[in-house]
A = this chain, B = another copy of it.
Amino acid sequence: MTKLLYGNPVASEIQLRLLNYMKSINKQPKIATIIVGDDVSSHKYVNMKEMASVKMGIEPLSFRLDKHITQDELIELIDKLNSDYEVDGILLQHPIPGHLNEREAFDRILLEKDVDGVTSTSFGDIAMGKNSFLSCTPAAIIELIKYYDIEMKSKHIVVIGRSSILGKPLSSALINEDATVTTCHSYTRNVEEIVGQADIVIAAVGKPKFVKGKWIKEGAIVIDAGYNPGNAGDVDYGSCLEKCSAITPVPGGVGPVTIAKLLEHTVLAAGKKAKYI
């Protein structure tokens, strides 16, 4: 029987932890959310994040910027939010239009407000064992794996994808969890063979139904971090379901946990500040 790794119980556990923690701080956490342009998925995701924030008692401050905004205007907004004491966390939704420098914009976010874990400083800190916020989807994947008591130590984990907010920080974090980690990407030649050796396969590639059941080892664990139009993950769910021992559904797998991690980071950012009130 293949085990289904649902995200909702994991997200609920995080939320419960947060509600308790929030009682101990005397500040309502606030998260600023920025979308640049009209990307439909971005608007949908951020709406979900804002609704979840409100439910948790976190106040979202929405900034919706025109797709023709200049880099200077975007940086100016981030600077304003950085210096606004009331703002605990800043979320700049990826992607932003191509004429803008996303890396520069991400890295402008103050480390202590980087609740989405997108800055290169947060990335470096986490890799070196320091206490910053890990990018939310990798953080969600690790929380989910731990929730279901899946061992990472000494396991061969294959990560497909090397994006700056998913594949790279995930591979780094998994090495720190004592896994043997292989990172694959668009230039990987024999991805089926490599996936075939994995004890745990994590698809973070952004291509619908990319990972096929025939690639994976019998009994492997499959984590699907993808979410493509038509509710399709990066994993060919049907064919993998038959062969793996456990799998995350899409939707309802990694997604809800990612949102819960964003809330958690925001509350922790507010809590750190509250100590000094």
Contacts and interface: CB of A to CB of B under 8 A. Distances in A.
A184 B189 contact: no
Nearest to A119: B124
Contacts of A188: 154, 180
Interface stretch (A61-69, A127-135, A252-260, A267-275): A127-135
Contacts of A189: 154, 156, 180
A107 B189 CA distance: 37
Nearest to A103: B128
B185 A182 contact: no
A227 interface: no
A156 B168 CA distance: 17
19 contacts: A103-B129, A107-B128, A120-B127, A120-B130, A121-B124, A123-B127, A123-B128, A127-B127, A127-B172, A128-B164, A153-B187, A154-B188, A156-B189, A171-B171, A171-B175, A175-B185, A179-B187, A180-B185, A180-B189
Nearest to A168: B127
A194 B175 contact: no
Contact of A120 (B103, B128, B162, B182): B128
Given A103-B128, A180-B185, 17 more contacts: A119-B124, A121-B124, A122-B124, A124-B125, A127-B127, A154-B188, A156-B190, A156-B194, A168-B175, A171-B171, A175-B183, A179-B187, A180-B184, A180-B187, A181-B182, A181-B183, A182-B183
A178 interface: yes
* Shortest Cβ-Cβ A-B pairs, 10 listed: A124-B124, A120-B124, A120-B128, A182-B182, A178-B187, A180-B188, A123-B124, A154-B187, A154-B189, A181-B183
* Residue of A119, A127, A162, A178 with highest tally of chain B CB at under 10 A: A127
A103 B126 CA distance: 12
B128 A127 contact: no
A133 to B, nearest CB: 13
A57 to B, nearest CB: 32
Taking each of A128, A156, A179, which has the highest tally of chain B beta carbons within 10 Å of its own beta carbon? A128
Interface in A166-221: 168, 171-172, 175, 178-185, 187-190, 194
Contacts of A153: 187
